[in-house]
Amino acid sequence: MGRRRKGEAISGWLCFDKPRGLGSTPAVSRVRRVFNAQKGGHAGTLDPLAEGILPIALGEATKTIPFMAEAAKTYRFTIAWGSTTTTLDTEGVVTATSEVRPDLDSLRAALPRFMGEILQTPPAFSALKIDGARAYDLARAGAEVVLAPRPVLVHRLVCLSAPDRDHVELEMDCGKGVYVRAIARDLAEALGAEAHVSWLRRTRVGPFTEAGAITLESLEALCHRGAASVALLPVETALDDIPALALTDEVASGLMQGRAVMLLPRQVDLLKGRLEASRIVAAFSGSRLVALCEARAGRLTPVRVFHL
């Protein structure tokens, strides 16, 4: 008999506004304690020095985390001219300085080079693994970290303001795997300057935006009133781009037992033109999410079953 998990079987997504100084994994632990939830996870790591949107999944919602991997993200960040650091942010040791302060015209002229599909070399201080070890652990130990450039997608990169000659604020919409610190590094290099990221806030991850975000303080205040659950979003929040299919209770029961079921001709017609390459469908019984299934050859085969 398996060991019973501690905590309550609470399921849902939280659009968490992570404060600066709190790591992503500790943030999940804090949220789990607030809800006394059995399990949790997050979609899209934020560095401890970064703040903003960190989607946190509790319970059955953790099964939908992989479907957030391709979610588009938006960042606002400030570049500080004059010095480059080992970490490319304020945490690191200064490695180079310069008196160059790029003007706004030069900066804006350089931005298109960093839009579209570009090759980006991740920072040495990153969570990527090299032979099983985290790159940032190797870098902190003084090892030489060499990471290969990889293709990433930047949809939009604009200058918002320049509060003074030493700082400029930008906003970026991008796909997965883009490092803001690498953007700052490469932009500075293109402009013959030295720079690092002095402030970073993520404002969107897929369907999770600032409008629906909650801070740790607000969440704890709700908890004291016994109302923390009002902050939870449905498990299916992460499945916005996946076609939904309504099923009868009888068919849904078969899926929940792990059995493949046949689709009716009208259901096959309903899915035509809506399926992505993965052919994944979200199956519902009424308003209840039952399973994520692969739709193929007129059949639904359960891939992830939910117990909600």
Active site residues: 47
- SS3 state at 81: strand
Q: Which of 245, 240, 234 is nearest to 291 (CA)?
A: 245
Question: Taking the CA of residue 301 as centre, how many other CA atoms within 13 Å lie in the half-sphere pointing to its CB?
Answer: 7
CB 143 within 8 A of CB 130: no
State the Cα–Cα distance between residues 10 and 233, nearest whole angstrom.
11
Burial pattern 123-161, b for ≥16 Cβ within 10 A else e, equals bbbbebeeeeeebbebbeeeeebeeeeeebbbeebeeee
Q: Which of 55, 50, 18, 51 is nearest to 40 (CA)?
A: 55
